[in-house]
Amino acid sequence: MTTEVPHLFRSFPLSNLTLNNRVVLAPMTRGRAGESRVPNELMATYYAQRASAGLIISEATTISEQGNGWIGSPGIYTDAMTDAWKGVVRKVHEAGGTIFLQLWHCGRASHSDFHGGEPAVAPSAIAINGDYIHTPIGKKPYEVPRALEIDEIANVVKDYQRAAERAKQAGFDGVEIHSANGYLLDSFLQSKSNHRTDAYGGNVAKRTRLLEEVVGAVTAVWSASRVGVRISPNGIFNSMGSPDFREQFLHIASRLDGFGLAYLHVMDGLALGFHQLGEPMTLTEFRTVFRGPLMANCGYTKETAERAVASGYADLVSFGRPFISNPDLVHRFLNNIPLAPDADMKVWYSSLGPTGYTDFPNAS
């Protein structure tokens, strides 16, 4: 008698790709690129170790110097960076994996220490309400960012497009646009952080304009079926959470539906905190306005992920923290092997080389 394969481990057609399973490596900033922000062999090893995921989404990767705001995170805006990413992609492909690059601009979640004394940029001059930020020269209080002038916004869109072009040159299988967690695009989307009165603020449609322009620019480089977008409707990270969040994010999803994207990556789980401005949004709501594949994220277990996929609630589920200490997470899930304990948070973003990064063993 044959045993039916659980839904989480069935293949999934994504554009003209076939993912081996529905388990996705979520994008996680790990900070191993060093001061140069150029990817390295250690990073290639890290991703290749996790190539059994149906899809790997890279750590958030900055599209420009202006977009920087995290120590040791990689970029995709120079020839050296692009060439170095080729080695990472090659190693993942040799291990049988599929990998998308996540495109990132930190926006106000940055500091003038990253920019030669110039302030970070944002939709409006509103600072993150937080204790401190780690900068290249130590912990500092969050600063009030500079509101982007309207004629500067086109350059930001071009930076996303150029980064998408470089991702294609590097051999990635696709890209994901990071529009979550209070970074630049998310801060434009939300009324809490966007107080503009011009064409990029004032109502849900205008606040969505920049994201739509970025998606349009990126899909001029890549087929839309190789482009994903990540959003965080319930999140509080980087001082987010807007009273009109439900109206805003349903509008966003309905607009993105028209592009024919590879997927919409929704942080519907509450593991990173919930703003409590109304009932949390779930993928069931997004199913009503977005017809493409939906990816769930944030705090899922093997059991809750299987239920989500089996019920049609999600097509794919991404896992972050469990993948750090379990490079063979898919194998462990499939064979009911206990997971290794979560890695100590002290090593998540450290510059300790392989320690807490590539030194986790597979199950015996």
Give the confidence band of 2 by pLDDT, cuts at 50, 70, 90.
low
Q: What's the domain range around 74?
A: 7-347
pLDDT at 256: 98
Query: Which CATH number do you get for residue 120?
Result: 3.20.20.70
Instruction: Give the DSSP per-residue string, 223-289.
Output: -GGGEEEEE-TT--TTT---TTHHHHHHHHHHHHHTTT-SEEEE--S-TT----SSSPP-HHHHHTT
Give the confidence band of 42 by pLDDT, cuts at 50, 70, 90.
very high
Residue 363 lies in a domain: no
Residue 269 lies in a domain: yes
pLDDT in tens, 328-353: 999 999 999 999 988 887 788 777 78
- Give the pLDDT mean for 5-20: 95
Residue 364 lies in a domain: no
Which letter does DSSP use for residue 150 in this model? G
In the annotation, is 160 catalytic?
no
Choice among 47, 160, 183, 263 that is catalytic: 183
pLDDT in tens, 277-327: 999 999 999 999 999 999 999 999 999 999 999 999 999 999 999 999 999
Residue 256 lies in a domain: yes
- Give the pLDDT mean for 88-99: 98
Residue 148 lies in a domain: yes
CA dihedral in degrees (99, 103, 108, 110; nearest 10)? Answer: 60
Residue 204 lies in a domain: yes
Mean pLDDT of the chain: 96
pLDDT in tens, 169-184: 999 999 999 999 999 9
Pairwise CA distance, residues 67 & 103, whole Å: 10
Question: How much of the chain, in percent, has pLDDT values that exceed 90?
Answer: 93
pLDDT at 1: 47
Number of domains composing the chain = 1
pLDDT at 55: 98
Pairwise CA distance, residues 344 & 275, whole Å: 26
Residue 354 lies in a domain: no
Pairwise CA distance, residues 134 & 346, whole Å: 14
